[in-house]
Chains A and B, each alone.
Chain A
Amino acid sequence: MNIVVCVKYVPDAQSERTFDSDNTTDRVGVDGLLSEIDEYAVEEALKIVEASDGEVTVVTMGPAQAADAVKKALQMGAHKGVHVSDEALHGSDAPATSLVLAEAIRKIGAPDLVITGMASTDGIMSVVPAMLAERLGLPQVTFASELTVEGDTVTIRRDGDVASETIVASLPALVSVTDQINEPRYPSFKGIMAAKKKPVEQWGLADLGVDAGQVGLDAAWTKVTEFAKRPPREKGTIVVDEGDGGTKLAEFLSAQKFL
C-alpha cells in the first residue's frame, strides 16, 4: 500500500495573520507550521502502512519555509518528502494548487491512496481534495471520521447533518479525514533523528511539466479586490453572578429584542 499525503504549511492561527500588498495571504512574515488538520492525515496514513506494508510520501506546495511542514511529517514517521516550490506559484488559488499537486502525485507514481486533511486551518475552504479527485480521476471519499482499507476497497464513515453515512470506493481513491479519525502522534526523539536522513525531493514547475502561466496570482480564476480588517468588537458588558446573573442575562436578551 503506497500512500501520498498532501500537507500544507500555514500561518500559525495563534499569531497575527494578515495579507501582503498584493492581497495574498502573508505566508512569509508570520510564523508557520504544518496545518494541524493535516497531522490527522499523516497519522492515518502511517497507521495503514504500519498494519500492512508500503510507504508514505508527503507532498507539499509552498515557499521555502514550507519545508518545515514536510519535516514534521517525516518526524512523525512518513518515509519520503516532496517539496514543490517555485517563484511562479506565489498567489496560486485552489484550482492551480490542485493542478500542481495532481502533477506531483502523478510524478511520485500511482499511489493506492491519496490522503488529505478535510481543510487547511488558514483557508478552511475544503475544496482542494475534491479538485484533486477530479483532476486525478479518482473516487472521492471525503470527511472521513473512520476509515478501513480491505483488499482493494476503502470504506469510510462520514457524519453528515442529517445522517451518518457509510461510503465505499475502490482503490486507488482520494480520502480526506476529519480530526475525529485518530489522535496524531508526537514525533519521538528517534523519529526526529531519523527524519534528518530521509529523502526530500525539491521540484519546480519545470519538473512537473506545468506551465508557469497556469499558476500564480496572475493566472488565478478569482481575484481579491479589497480586504479590510474588521473593527475589533466593542467591549461588552460583563457582570459577575451574585445570584442574579441569569436574570441579568435574560434582561439583556430582552433589551436586544431576542425574546
Chain B
Amino acid sequence: MSEVLVLVDHADGVVRKSTFELLTLARRLGDPSAVFVGEGGEAAAESLARYGAAKVYVVADPDVTAYLVAPQAEVLAQLVEQVSPAAVLVPASSVGKEVAARLAVKTGSGLITDAVDVRAGGEGVETTQSVFAGSYTVTATVTRGTPIIAVKPNSATPEEASAAGEVVPVEVSISDAAKAARITDTQPKKATGRPELTEAAIVVSGGRGTGGDFGPVEAFADSLGAAVGASRAAVDAGWYPHSNQVGQTGKQVSPQLYVAAGISGAIQHRAGMQTSKTIVAVNKDEEAPIFELVDFGVVGDLFNVLPQATEAVKAAKG
C-alpha cells in the first residue's frame, strides 16, 4: 500500500488530538506516515505509532522550525517527491491550510480544504465539505497530482491501531526565499486549563449579552468540561481574546454541543458554528435569529439561566 503523509500538529512536542484523527482517516487511504516538524519528534513517535503511523519522518532543522509556513511546504514537497504518497493530510488550521496551499502549487496538485470526511472513492480520494455557513454539503475529488486534503478537527473519532512508528530523520535543504519571513517574538497565551476551542466536544460561547462579564459563561463551561468561545462583538469590546472568536473571521467549530449565550446569531457567527451537532441558546430576545438554529432554547436572562443550569449540571454530575 502507498504511504499517506500526515502533517503532525503539535504544541512544543505535545501532539494534538486532531493529528490522531488524521491518522485514523489516513488508514482508509493507505499506510499513514507522520511528518513531525520541530523538537520532540522521537518522543512523539510512540503516540503516533499507537494511532497507526508506520513511519515518523522527523524534521528538527532550525531552518524549518524558526520560520513560518514556507519551509514546511518545502519539506512536504521533498517527501512527496521521494515517496509518491497516495495523499497528504494536513490539519485545517490556518497554518495547515497555508502549508497545503503552497504545497499544492509546488507539486501541481489539487487541494481540498476544510474536509469533514475523507475516504477512498471510485475516482480516488473523495471528500465531504460543508459550505455556505453549513447550508450545503459538497462531495469533491482531486483530479490532478497528489490529493492534498486539509481536514477539520472533530471530523473523525481517533481509533488506535498499533503500527511500527519507525523514526526516519529527514535532511532538508530549505531555500533562502522560504526563510524570508521570520518569527521574532512569541507571547504564549495564558493557559486556561480548558480544552482547545476547535477540538472541544462542547463549546459554550458568550456574546454582547454578557455585558463584559464572562463569569457565568466560564462557570457553565467548566461544569461541562467545555471550551469557551466568544462572538466578535464580545471580542471587539475587548472582553475575550480574538483567538476564542467563533465565526467567519474566527474559528470554525463543530462540537457535539454548542451553547450560545447572549449571542444574536448573525450570519458571520453562524458560519463558525452551524455544523455543530446539537445547538442550545440562551437569549433575552425571543426574536433573536439564533433561535432558528437551536435544538433547545431558553428565552431569558443569561445571568439567571446559566448559574441555575451550572448548579443543576454540577448536582447531576455529583
Contact surface of A with B, Cβ cutoff 8 Å: 13-14, 17-19, 37, 93-95, 98, 118-119, 121-131, 133-135, 137-143, 145, 155, 159-170, 173, 178-180, 220-230, 233-234, 236-241, 243-254, 256, 258-259
Collect the chain A residues with CB atoms within 8 Å of residue B312's CB. Answer: 246-247, 249-251
A161/B298 contact (C-beta < 8 A), A139-B180, A246-B306, A258-B202 known:
no
A95/B94 contact (C-beta < 8 A), A17-B135, A127-B100, A165-B186 known:
no
A226/B144 contact (C-beta < 8 A), A170-B180, A236-B295 known:
no
Q: Which residue of A lies closest to B294 (CB)?
A: A236
Collect the chain A residues with CB atoms within 8 Å of residue B268's CB. Answer: 13, 121
Binds A, one of B20-28, B68-76, B166-174: B68-76
Q: Are A221 and B300 in contact (CB under 8 A)?
A: no
Question: What string of 1s and 0s marks CB contacts (under 8 Å) between B102-140 and chain A?
Answer: 101110111111100000000100100011111111111
Q: Are B300 and A245 in contact (CB under 8 A)?
A: yes
Q: Are A241 and B182 in contact (CB under 8 A)?
A: no
Q: Determine if B299 is an interface residue (Cβ-Cβ < 8 Å).
A: yes
Q: Determine if B297 is an interface residue (Cβ-Cβ < 8 Å).
A: yes
Collect the chain A residues with CB atoms within 8 Å of residue B39's CB. Answer: none
Q: Choose one: B98, B187, B197, B298; the contact of A142 (CB below 8 Å).
A: B98
- B167-206 contacts to A (CB < 8 Å): 177, 180-189, 196-198, 202
Collect the chain B residues with CB atoms within 8 Å of residue A143's CB. Answer: 94
Collect the chain A residues with CB atoms within 8 Å of residue B163's CB. Answer: none
In whole angstroms, what is the CA distance A97 to B309 when docked?
49
Q: Are B101 and A130 in contact (CB under 8 A)?
A: yes
Q: Choose one: B102, B271, B301, B308; the contact of A124 (CB below 8 Å).
A: B271
Q: Are A127 and B181 in contact (CB under 8 A)?
A: no
Q: Determine if B242 is an interface residue (Cβ-Cβ < 8 Å).
A: yes
Contact surface of B with A, Cβ cutoff 8 Å: 11, 68-70, 73, 93-95, 97-102, 104-106, 108-114, 123, 126, 130-145, 177, 180-189, 196-198, 202, 224, 232, 235, 241-243, 248-249, 252, 256-257, 267-268, 271, 278-280, 282, 286, 291-301, 304-313, 316-317
Q: Are A127 and B243 in contact (CB under 8 A)?
A: no
In whole angstroms, what is the CA distance A129 to B98 when docked?
8
Collect the chain B residues with CB atoms within 8 Å of residue A134's CB. Answer: 70, 73, 101-102, 105-106
A142/B188 contact (C-beta < 8 A), A236-B294, A239-B299, A254-B316 known:
no
A-B contact pairs, 26 of them (CB 8 A): A95-B104, A123-B131, A124-B114, A125-B97, A130-B98, A134-B101, A139-B181, A140-B181, A142-B69, A167-B181, A167-B182, A169-B181, A179-B232, A180-B249, A225-B140, A226-B138, A227-B137, A230-B134, A237-B295, A241-B301, A243-B304, A246-B307, A246-B311, A249-B280, A251-B312, A253-B280
Collect the chain A residues with CB atoms within 8 Å of residue B301's CB. Answer: 241
Collect the chain B residues with CB atoms within 8 Å of residue A227's CB. Answer: 131, 136-139
Give, as a whole number of angstroms, the nearest-CB distance from A126 to chain B.
5
Q: Are A229 and B136 in contact (CB under 8 A)?
A: yes
Q: Which residue of A lies closest to B277 (CB)?
A: A256
Q: Are B188 and A162 in contact (CB under 8 A)?
A: yes
Q: Are B110 and A164 in contact (CB under 8 A)?
A: no
Collect the chain A residues with CB atoms within 8 Å of residue B139's CB. Answer: 224-227
A259/B282 contact (C-beta < 8 A), A165-B183, A221-B110 known:
no
Collect the chain B residues with CB atoms within 8 Å of residue A224's CB. Answer: 138-140
Q: Choose one: A14, A127, A159, A236; the contact of B97 (CB below 8 Å).
A: A127
Q: Are A164 and B187 in contact (CB under 8 A)?
A: yes
Q: Which residue of A lies closest to B196 (CB)?
A: A161
Q: Are A221 and B111 in contact (CB under 8 A)?
A: yes
Other A-B pairs, 17, CB within 8 Å; known A121-B248, A221-B143: A18-B136, A123-B131, A124-B248, A130-B102, A131-B102, A131-B104, A135-B105, A169-B182, A180-B249, A221-B144, A222-B140, A227-B139, A236-B295, A246-B298, A246-B305, A249-B309, A258-B257
Q: Are B309 and A246 in contact (CB under 8 A)?
A: yes
Collect the chain B residues with CB atoms within 8 Å of residue A160's CB. Answer: 94-95, 243
Give, as a whole number of angstroms, the nearest-CB distance from A84 to chain B.
19
Q: Which residue of B lies closest to A244 (CB)?
A: B308
A221/B241 contact (C-beta < 8 A), A240-B299, A247-B309 known:
no
